[in-house]
């Protein structure tokens, strides 16, 4: 068994359900009171890095632990938005956009960035040089290339000293794409790893299509890479066909066979890239490939924001990227990729902390923890409550109270159907001015024509037309009683519509 595998087993690595990782914020100390290095804890992540997420997990000033618990290193994230992300159809970043993104990733604490493909041309190489000139010592830049002389020549000419050299390892791609043999692949790995090391590079071997390859052959490729001096093997689920169980089995077998760092590179074709990344980590992977917003080929890659949040909130593992940095990173990539964030996108979507259902709103108002997986404040966000088809009378009461109007339960009940009709018609929650209109219509009906309801179609002539104004929140949450006139609608005077005003 490899030494890393032994360390992994000692840390509970053979049990996918054993939680033996360092909890977020927990501090480990050697008996002399010094911080334990990664190697002292049994695993290393790369050879030349002093800065890593584990360092961020070990603040000074904590008590000495005589018998440190078994510990598993947090995984190191390898962001490949600039390489695999840019391979998404229709996506191309300018030099300035790439430099902005690199700085944003560095500021967010991402420890490794796969920055580009030098062989693509002079412009790409100039951009990579500019990135290297501004790089931070705590963030490692990586060049990507094939095991091809031209790629290696382009890589070695740059001041980026870590290279991911990729080669297909599935029989299908070896035979149908390259018209080569397994023996050729092994010899190519041996030759290019040695050549790259002779050029002063550190090398990760990228096993393209590893998930469709014969696993025994993948082991042979990884062993060959290790013998030639590579420091890492990237297990690429190139077509995104894995599930967490098969991922765990494959990575565990690799973990037990080689001492290399292992990187999972998961694609999301079956919607399991994040789950597969976590399974690989549980099985012994030391690195996880991610892209911001999951940007990448076809269905994309494992999204950075999902992996960071899943590790933090699901497994209490801090991989060094603060939650608060995720929304701005996501917004930046949405902007420069021209791909808006779907509103229900986990972690960063605009409505993932918005609640309408009566049961949920009631629970949230009593205690946010009733319907809160994690505190949105950590992302710089907050719960938003909106009224809609599923709002109960208490939620409607609360919503109108935010507008400065105190409704009785029966009055709130009378508004349920008009609000439901509005959302059915307009496919969105009513905004402030529209809630006031619904109330006005209901009041008029009650006073004058109780048997004739005014639905949204009838209201259309009186409601504001066109898209929602940017300054006008769709939710009722940000709206305060007595809001300034002109922001969305005139403020509601207290006592208007004969309803009670809040105290």
Considering beta carbons, is residue 141 or 459 the nearer one to Zn ion? 141
DSSP state of 189: H
Point out which span in 77-85, 121-129, 192-200, 315-323 binds Zn ion (CB under 5 A).
77-85
Pick the stretch among 83-91, 181-189, 409-417, 431-439 that binds Zn ion (CB under 5 A): 83-91
What is the token pair recorded at 321? 């990227």
Smallest gap, in angstroms, from Cβ of residue 319 to Zn ion? 20
Give the residue with the Cβ less far from Zn ion, 84 or 356: 84
Task: Pick the piece of the chain touching Zn ion (CB under 5 A) from 26-34, 81-89, 102-110, 462-470.
Answer: 81-89
368: helix, strand or coil: helix
* Residues belonging to the chain: 503
Which residues, 6+ apart, have CB-to-CB distance to 100 below 8 Å? Answer: 332, 336
Instruction: Pull the structure tokens for residue 32.
Output: 């002399």
SS3 146: strand
Contact window for Zn ion (CB under 5 A) among 13-21, 76-84, 97-105, 454-462: 76-84
Q: Which stretch binds Zn ion (CB under 5 A): 78-86, 99-107, 347-355, 372-380?
A: 78-86
> Smallest gap, in angstroms, from Cβ of residue 298 to Zn ion?
9
User: Which residue lies nearer to Zn ion by CB, 293 or 437?
Assistant: 293
Q: In this complex, which beta carbon is closest to Zn ion, that of residue 84 or of residue 411?
A: 84
Where in 334-363 is the site for Zn ion (CB under 5 A)?
Answer: none
> Least distance from C-beta 206 to Zn ion, angstroms?
9
Q: Please state the closest distance from residue 265 (CB atom) to Zn ion, in A.
A: 6
- Candidate segments 84-92, 103-111, 138-146, 249-257, binder of Zn ion by CB under 5 A: 84-92
User: CB-wise, 84 or 421, nearer to Zn ion?
Assistant: 84
Q: Which is nearer to Zn ion, 300 or 392 (CB)?
A: 300
Q: Give the other-Cβ count within 10 Å of 460's Cβ.
A: 11
Please give the Cα distance from 268 to 275 (Å, whole number). 10
> Smallest gap, in angstroms, from Cβ of residue 83 to Zn ion?
8
Shortest spacing between CB 231 and Zn ion, in angstroms: 20
DSSP labels, 94-140: -HHHHHHHHHHHHHTT--EEEEE-GGG-HHHHHHHHHHHHH--TTSE
Total of residues contacting Zn ion (CB under 5 A): 1
On whether the CB atoms of residues 45 and 51 are closer than 8 A, the answer is: no
Cα separation of 222 and 229, whole Å?
11
State the CB neighbour count (10 A cutoff) for residue 360. Answer: 16
Contact pick of 84, 112, 223, 454 for Zn ion (by CB under 5 A)? 84
**Residue 210 or residue 325: which is nearer to Zn ion going by CB?**
210
Give the tokens for residue 457: 């179609």
Strand partners, 114: 142
Q: How far apart are CA 129 and CA 158, in angstroms?
A: 7
Binding segment for Zn ion (CB under 5 A), chosen from 28-36, 79-87, 199-207, 275-283, is 79-87
Closest to Zn ion by CB, 211 vs 437, is: 211
**Residue 86 interacts with Zn ion (CB under 5 A): yes or no:** no
Output the CA–CA distances (angstroms, integers) from residue 243 to 168, 239, 246, 249, 283, in the order listed. Answer: 21, 12, 6, 10, 13
SS3 of 179, please?
coil
Nearer to Zn ion, 84 or 263 (CB): 84
SS3 state of residue 174: helix
Nearer to Zn ion, 337 or 437 (CB): 337
Least Å distance between CB 227 and Zn ion?
26
Q: Where do the DSSP E strands lie in 343-445?
A: 354-355, 384-385
Distance from C-alpha of 443 to C-alpha of 464, rounded to nearest angstrom: 19
Residue number, 267 or 383, with CB nearest to Zn ion: 267
Q: Nearest to Zn ion by Cβ — which residue?
A: 84
Q: Give the integer Cα–Cα distance in Å for 389 and 467.
A: 21
Q: Which stretch binds Zn ion (CB under 5 A): 24-32, 80-88, 342-350, 442-450?
A: 80-88
Using CA atoms, how far residue 107 sits from 266, 321, 372, 477, in Å, is 24, 9, 28, 31
Chain positions contacting Zn ion, by CB under 5 A: 84
């Amino acid at each position: 068994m490899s030494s890393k595998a032994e360390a992994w087993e000692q840390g509970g690595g053979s049990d996918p359900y054993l939680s033996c990782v360092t909890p977020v914020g927990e501090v480990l100390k050697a008996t002399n009171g010094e911080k334990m290095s990664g190697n002292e804890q049994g695993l290393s992540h790369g050879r030349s890095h002093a800065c890593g997420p584990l360092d961020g997990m070990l603040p000074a000033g904590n008590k000495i632990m005589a018998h440190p618990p078994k510990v598993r290193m947090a995984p190191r994230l390898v962001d490949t938005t600039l390489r695999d992300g840019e391979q998404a159809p229709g996506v191309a970043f300018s030099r300035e956009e790439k430099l902005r993104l690199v700085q944003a990733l560095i500021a967010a604490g991402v420890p490794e960035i796969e920055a580009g493909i030098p062989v693509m041309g002079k412009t790409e190489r100039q951009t990579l040089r500019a990135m290297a000139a501004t790089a931070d010592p705590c963030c490692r830049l990586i060049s990507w290339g094939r095991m091809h002389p031209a790629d290696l020549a382009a890589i070695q000419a740059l001041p980026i000293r870590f290279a991911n050299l990729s080669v297909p390892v599935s029989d299908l791609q070896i035979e149908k794409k390259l018209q080569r043999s397994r023996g050729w692949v092994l010899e190519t790995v041996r030759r290019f790893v040695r050549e790259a090391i002779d050029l002063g590079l550190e090398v990760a071997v990228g096993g393209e299509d590893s998930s469709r390859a014969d696993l025994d052959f993948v082991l042979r490729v990884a062993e060959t890479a290790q013998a030639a001096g590579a420091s890492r093997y990237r297990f690429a689920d190139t077509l995104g066909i894995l599930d967490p169980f098969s991922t765990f089995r494959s990575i565990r077998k690799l973990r037990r066979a080689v001492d290399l760092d292992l990187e999972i590179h998961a694609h999301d074709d079956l919607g399991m890239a994040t789950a597969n990344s976590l399974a690989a980590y549980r099985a012994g992977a030391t690195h996880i490939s991610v892209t911001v917003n999951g940007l990448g080929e076809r269905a994309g890659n494992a999204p950075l924001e999902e992996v960071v949040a899943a590790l933090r909130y699901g497994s209490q593992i801090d991989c060094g990227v603060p939650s608060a940095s995720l929304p701005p990173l996501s917004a930046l990539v949405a902007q420069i990729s021209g791909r808006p964030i779907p509103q229900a996108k986990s972690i960063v979507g605009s409505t993932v902390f918005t609640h309408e259902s009566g049961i949920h709103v009631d629970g949230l108002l009593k205690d946010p923890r009733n319907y809160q997986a994690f505190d949105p404040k950590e992302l710089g966000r907050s719960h938003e409550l909106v009224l809609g088809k599923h709002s109960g009378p208490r939620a409607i009461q609360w919503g109108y109270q935010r507008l400065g109007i105190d409704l009785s339960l029966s009055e709130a009940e009378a508004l349920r159907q008009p609000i439901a009709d509005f959302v059915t018609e307009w496919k969105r929650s009513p905004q402030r001015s529209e809630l006031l209109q619904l109330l006005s219509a209901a009041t008029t009906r009650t006073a004058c024509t109780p048997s004739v309801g005014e639905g949204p179609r009838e209201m259309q002539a009186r409601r504001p037309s066109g898209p929602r104004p940017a300054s006008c929140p769709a939710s009722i949450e940000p709206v305060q009683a007595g809001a300034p006139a002109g922001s969305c609608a005139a403020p509601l005077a207290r006592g208007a519509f004969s309803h009670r005003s809040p105290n």
